[in-house]
A and B are shown apart, each in its own frame.
Chain A
Amino acid sequence: MLTKILSAAHFGLETLPVEVEVNLATKGFPGFTIIGLPTKSVEEAKERVKTALVNSGIDFPQAKIIVNLAPADIPKEGSCYDLPIAVGILNSLGQIRLPAEKSFFYGELSLDGSLRHSKGVFLLALAAKNLKVANLFVPLPSANEAAVIKHLNIYPVSSLKQLVSHLVGLTPIQRLKITTKQSASALANQATAEFDFAEIMGQEQAKRALEIAAAGSHNIFMQGPPGSGKTMLARALPGILPPLTEEESLEVTKIYSVTGNIPPGGSLVTNRPFRSSHHTTSRAGLIGGDSPPRPGEISLAHCGVLFLDEFPEFSRSTLEALRQPLEDGVVNISRAAGSVQFPAQFTLVAAANPCPCGFLGDPKNECRCSPRQILRYQAKLSGPLLDRIDLHLNVPAVEVEKLMPLDSARGKPIFKPESSAQIRARVIKARNLQTARFQKTGIHSNAQMRNKHLKKFCHLTDEAYLLLKQAVNNYHLSARTYFRLIKVSQTIADLSAEKTITQSHVAEALQYRLRFQEN
């Protein structure tokens, strides 16, 4: 008997419905074949389904079973076809009754018949909404991902046995309640970071720059001798990032769901991603790639921060590959298996030493590098790449007087740095201004503004404009730098809650641009 079960396949962030046709013929030599371009992981579903059925107390039929995954010309991968195949076999055996409405069955089976956390359930729910599929049968550990989407019947399935008794009408599975916005945003306020900004002594300028970066999602490049706190500053950054907006949250959840980065039981991603990559990361690992194409670190850092420590140690080709996504906010990956687009609107935080020994420009330690070595080291970072970074700053070594909190016993004043929570409050205010400004434009922050947005939203005073013009002429800045300066100035204005960009905002923006070139 032939049964057709609806399931889905993911290509990049697109979801296509896949019909799982299961034919159970009592004539012919018994066997189990899967066709429709299955990869190894789909092929192995045979053994999982067989064992799971037997261990759920169902006799595996002595019959010729053919499973076709239609459309048959698209390669299928992943373990999510286990459940539809098992349900197809059960229905062909006449042991269950399928629901009357269109239903998606999706999930990986464990050998004991229970369902395992599966990738891409969130995308499946989105597809169900678009395709008007009423019911969703998904693994219990992944069901929360689907529960964000309204108007769907989501059945969290814990085991095959439970599903069978639901489908024959014995003990129905309770539908999952929709996760509300409130419960998602309640989680969002717990921004966690390894370090609090209050723990970092000195480095006031760097902190201010990071605040600007967090507020406007500007790229930032920190340069300084070893041990000055570049890495620590970057690791403290998640603590001041604003929460994701609802729209952003959906985008990030899509990427995290399809890559299996949502923990079992998890739902919407509400914290801004903070990804940090080692410098040995391959180009495909960073940009995305493989076949079929998978999102890389830059897409996993979408709407969040990508921290690249020891920036010049990355291979040249990897770094240059960052150029296009940095500008466009998306990355197109074309392979023989097809072409996909992943969003990649990330804030780049890069850290580097100024030279191989690290002490170039340090007032106390002498640099031991030859000029040639220094040139070679700095040449690893191309001009076009650095041009795309809005904020350049030096992170000098901290003086010893600032390192320990000064004790009042010696009669010195106690200096207490601002905590992450204080800074974050300002950042959130600035970001709220941006969210209000960019309604219905498809962008979320100042750094994402295009030239048309600049003209529409950024208002400079005459003095500010004059200063900007002089800077461009004196320092021979590029057109891109000019526009980026305005964007940074806008963020600084937002942080001080001013509507127009004044001379002082431009002046501050300029110092983050020029400092690097003095070296």
Chain B
Amino acid sequence: MKNLNYQTGRVGENLAREYLIKKGYRILQSNFHTRFGEIDLIAAKNQKLIFVEVKTKIGDQFGTPEDMIDKRKLGKIQMMAEVFLQKNPPVAKQYPAYQIDAVCLVLGLDNEIIRINHWEDLGSEMV
């Protein structure tokens, strides 16, 4: 089961990456992780650095992917973003500001996309 969820996540992350590229984003890195956590995608567009959390669900029966993103999760992503910027000073220098986005996917049984939503700038949800 756990392995299945992991696979679903990978599928979703690949789909999200394609989706963002199509929308004109430049993907800097995928699956940046340290022992504290992981950022699924790091992208850039219009001189802005964007950290993207990808959430994938198969079917809507067990809650929406949006339900799975709460303040705690966003806090974790922000912390990871700071870690990333510390480890990559050139990137930090290049982009003065960053934002946190989420891409939420609902897939069908054959991994086809039923719904894909891109939520921008979730920083304000953290308060």
Give the chain B neighbours of A475 by CB distance below 8 A: none
Instruction: Chain B residues near A29: list those with CB within 8 A.
Output: 66, 69, 102, 119, 122, 125
Taking CB as reference atom, which chain B residue is nearest A32?
Answer: B67
Tell me whether A62 and B64 are in contact (CB under 8 A).
yes
Residues from chain A with Cβ under 8 Å of B125 in the complex: 29, 31
A31 to B69, CA, bound (A): 9
Q: Is the CB of A172 closer than 8 A to any CB of chain B?
A: no
Interface centre among A28, A29, A30 (most CB of B within 10 A): A29
CB distance from A5 to the nearest CB of B (A): 25
Residues from chain A with a CB closer than 8 A to the CB of B122 are: 29
Task: List B contacts of A30 (CB < 8 A).
Answer: 64, 66
> Cα distance A30–B69 when bound, in Å?
10
Which residues from chain A contact B102 at a C-beta distance below 8 Å? Answer: 29
- CB-contacts of A105-164 with B (<8 A): none
Roughly how many angstroms separate A333 CA and B31 CA in the complex, as a whole number?
59
Q: Which residue of B lies closest to A50 (CB)?
A: B67
B70-103 vs A: 1/0 string, CB under 8 Å? 0000000000000000000000000000000010
Closest residue of A by beta carbon distance from B70? A31
Give A30 to B63 CA distance when docked, in angstroms.
Answer: 12
Which B residue sits closest to A60, measured CB to CB? B64
**Which single residue of chain A is at the shortest CB-CB distance from B115?**
A62
Instruction: Please measure, in the bound complex, the distance between the C-alpha atom of A397 and the C-alpha atom of B119, giving whole angstroms.
Output: 82
Cα A30 to Cα B102 with chains together (Å): 11
**What is the CA–CA distance of A30 and B66 in the complex, to the nearest angstrom?**
7
Q: Closest CB of chain B to A158's CB: distance in Å?
A: 28
Cα separation A353 to B118 with both chains bound (whole Å): 77
Query: Would you give the shortest CB distance from B121 to chain A, in whole angstroms?
Result: 9
Closest A residue, CB atoms, query B127: A33
Mark each residue of chain B from 102 to 127: 1 if its CB lies under 8 Å from any CB of chain A, else 0.
10000000000000000100100100
Residue of B nearest to A30 (CB): B66
The residues of A that contact B66 with a CB separation of less than 8 Å are 29-31, 62
Contact mask for chain A residues 22-50; partner B; CB cutoff 8 A; 1 contact, 0 none: 00000011110000000000000000000
Note all chain A residues with C-beta closer than 8 A to B64: 30, 62
Name the B residues within 8 Å of A62 (CB-CB): 64, 66
Give min CB distance, A154 to chain B, whole Å: 37
Instruction: Provide the bound-state CA to CA distance between A29 and B125, in Å.
Output: 8
Give Cα A174–Cα B25 distance, bound, in whole angstroms: 59
CB distance from B43 to the nearest CB of A (A): 18
A123 to nearest B CB, angstroms? 35
Distance to closest chain A CB from B21 (angstroms): 22
Q: Which chain B residue lies CB-closest to A31?
A: B125
Write out the residue numbers on chain B whose beta carbons fall within 8 Å of the beta carbon of A28.
Answer: 119
Q: Which residue of A lies closest to B102 (CB)?
A: A29
Nearest-Cβ distance from residue B65 to partner chain A, whole angstroms: 10
* Residues of chain A lying within 8 A (CB to CB) of residue B119: 28-29
Instruction: Chain A residues near B69: list those with CB within 8 A.
Output: 29
- Which residues of A425-465 are within 8 A (CB) of B? none
Q: How far is the CA of A62 from the CA of B69 in the complex (A)?
A: 13
Residue of B nearest to A64 (CB): B125
Closest Cβ of chain B to A26, distance in Å, is 12
Nearest-neighbour CB distance to chain B for A27, whole angstroms, equals: 10
Bound form: Cα–Cα A417–B60 in Å? 74
Distance between Cα atoms of A30 and B125 in the complex (Å)? 10
Nearest-neighbor residue (CB-CB) of A29 within chain B:
B119
- A28–B102 Cα distance when bound, in Å, is 11
- Interface membership of chain A positions 84-110, coded 1 if the CB is closer than 8 angstroms to chain B and 0 otherwise: 000000000000000000000000000
Interchain CA distance A62-B122 in the complex, whole Å: 16
Cα distance, A28 to B119, chains bound together (Å): 7
Q: How far is the CA of A28 from the CA of B124 in the complex (A)?
A: 10
Distance between A59 CB and nearest chain B CB, rounded to angstroms: 10
B contact residues around A31 at 8 Å (CB): 66, 125
**Within the complex, what minimum Cβ distance (angstroms) separates A58 from chain B?**
15
A49-76 interface bits toward B, Cβ cutoff 8 Å, 1 = contact, 0 = none: 0000000000000100000000000000
Nearest CB in chain A: distance from B73 CB, A: 12
Least Cβ–Cβ distance between B104 and chain A, in angstroms:
9
Considering the chains assembled together, what is the distance between the CA atoms of A31 and B64 in angstroms? 11
Nearest Cβ in chain B — how far from A479, in angstroms?
Answer: 63
A-B contact pairs, 13 of them (CB 8 A): A28-B119, A29-B66, A29-B69, A29-B102, A29-B119, A29-B122, A29-B125, A30-B64, A30-B66, A31-B66, A31-B125, A62-B64, A62-B66
The 7 residue pairs across chains A and B that have the minimum distance between CB atoms: A30-B66, A29-B119, A29-B125, A29-B122, A31-B125, A62-B64, A62-B66
Known A29-B102, A29-B119, A29-B122; 10 more pairs at CB < 8 Å? A28-B119, A29-B66, A29-B69, A29-B125, A30-B64, A30-B66, A31-B66, A31-B125, A62-B64, A62-B66
